[in-house]
Amino acid sequence: MSTGSLSRLDHKETDKDDMRYLVQPRGPGKSWVFRMLTPPDLIGLPNPWDGKPLGKEIKKGLATRHLPEARKRRDIALGDIRRLQRQLSNDDAWSLQSAMAWREMTEEAQRRQDGEDIVEGYDLVLNDRVEQAASQGVPSATVKRFIRIASGKGYLLTLAHEQYVDARRPGNPYGYSPLKRTTVMNLDTAMKHLRAFLSDDANTACMEDVTPDLARSFRDTYLPSLQKHRSPEGLSAKTVAKNVTLLKMMWVWAAESGRLPKKHRNPWDFPKGISRTTNSQTKAREDYRPEETVKLLKATERGSRQGDVVRLAIATGCRADEIATISIKDIKGDGVGFYLAHGKSKNALRFIPVVGAARTLLQARVAAHGSSGRVFPEWPIRPASGKAAAVSQWFTRFRREVLGVETDKRLALHSTRHTWRTVARRAGVREADINDLGGWAGQRTSSSVYDHGLLEDQLEAAQQKVWDELQRAGYLEGF
């Protein structure tokens, strides 16, 4: 072959390399497009231009018809891809986002009539990645979860959590009783503990990963060993049981709704065994003595957010955090009482008459803060829980200062509610009326369904009896 022929061949090879990854899908004279097969280790990761998951093929419009400029822009795109490969870590390659991208690509190919070959190609690439995983130091559990999600054979914990909460939202179309906000928060915590127990840093654990043996270890070993600032000796048996119950119900829903196979056993269905104590250090709450409420009243100033919330708690028997969140629109008339629109249970939704000096206090609050829309705007409400948690935190410190730290074992802010109920009984108020005023369910009887409680003026008369007894017994000195 002559020197000239070799030169022409070299020139053709050079031209071929210069045209690599460049196409004009709309024909000659149209814009150039960068197009290449995605490196296997990048499939499913966000591309460097728009953040969307990379599929089997990379396409990027170069917005030019000029070939030399197209080559420059192609080289820049190639540089971005190479840089992404250099930055790639195992955490990214085996992440939830990557697994879900694989799953979506496979499902899309399966929907297309010509998708069988593409699906087979995806499977081959995935198998290659799995074979390389061990040499890359990827934990086998991570790989197993990734394959389960990518192949569509696993129900993600995070997805199940999100869909379960949505299925039990207020007004859901399934007829499920809605989850309270605090229950949702407690479930969030239980899920956080479970994912930590499963070492699910990549967020790829599935419901199928939780076996009965793992569930038992989570209940009996992991949770009791969790030391928090409020539980330095580990979570109590009562808290552990609450976590397990919340998770169990999510599994019940997943099976009932067909998201788990029928043969799948609920790992949280533990066989009955030896009864477990809820808490070996259960605190026995007592009522406040008259002299103790007097000290609390005298240590606070009427008109302040602290003094007024304590006074209304003593006078009405309501939970203090309920009082701190009352809206102006919930006040009846000129302050003769208020409606609780939110509460710990459905029985907590009720009308609370306010009598005596407590009514004057409430009216003063409405006059002073009506424009804010709240009776106690000074107490912040946490958006996540809808509660004024700062009330309880403040009162614990306040009670210790006024009554001493030794009262920790027998008194709390909630003890004002105990006190009100005890005084109501001593005042001769009927048990059913006490339940109506305090928001307790009470004993259910065959006639309960026909009994719709007292009228508001009758509730006021019952509340007046409690107020009179509180005054007679010396609880209200300094009110």
Distances (CA, A) of 432 to 59, 222, 422: 73, 44, 14
Is pLDDT above 50 for 14?
A: no
Q: What is the pLDDT of residues 453-479, one digit of tens each?
A: 678 888 999 999 999 999 999 999 999
Examine the domain organization and report whether 231 and 146 are in the same domain.
no
Q: How many helices (H) and strands (E) does the chain have?
A: 18, 6
> Domain residues for 237?
157-256
Both 83 and 120 in one domain: the answer is no
Domain boundary among 106, 132, 150: 150
CB 243 within 8 A of CB 183: no
* 295 vs 259 pLDDT, higher one: 295
Instruction: Enter the DSSP assignment of 46.
Output: B
Segment 325-343 shows an average pLDDT of 87
Of 324, 320, 326, nearest to 351 by C-alpha is 326
Residues 401, 340 within the same domain = yes
Mean pLDDT across the stretch 407-424?
Answer: 92
**3-class DSSP state of 272:** coil
| pLDDT at residue 154 in the model | 79
Judgement on whether residues 252 and 347 belong to the same structural domain of the protein: no
Query: Do 84 and 196 reside in the same domain of the chain?
Result: no
Residue 58 forms part of a structural domain = yes
Q: How far apart are CA 208 and CA 106, in angstroms?
A: 21
What pLDDT does residue 121 have?
A: 59
Residues 351 and 326 in one domain: yes
pLDDT digit string (tens) for 52-103?
777 778 888 999 999 999 999 998 888 888 777 665 555 566 776 777 777 7
Residue 450: predicted pLDDT: 35
Residue corresponding to tokens 């509180």: 470
Q: Are both 320 and 423 inside the same structural domain?
A: yes
Q: What is the pLDDT of residues 74-83, one digit of tens each?
A: 988 888 887 7
Upper half-sphere CA count for residue 343 (Cβ side, 13 Å)? 18
Helix, strand, coil shares of the chain, percent, nearest 5, are 55, 5, 40
| In-domain check, residue 284 | no
Model confidence at 331, pLDDT cuts 50, 70, 90, reads very high
Residue with tokens 């030391």: 227
Q: What is the tally of structural domains in the chain?
A: 4
- Please tell me whether residues 165 and 186 are part of one structural domain: yes
Domain contains 262: no
Planar angle of CA 169, 172, 175, nearest 5 degrees: 115
pLDDT band at 142 (very low <50, low <70, confident <90, very high): confident
Q: Are residues 372 and 428 part of one domain?
A: yes
Q: Is there a domain that residue 29 lies in? A: yes
- What is the pLDDT of the chain when averaged over all its residues? 83
* pLDDT score, position 122: 61
Over residues 204-216, mean pLDDT: 91
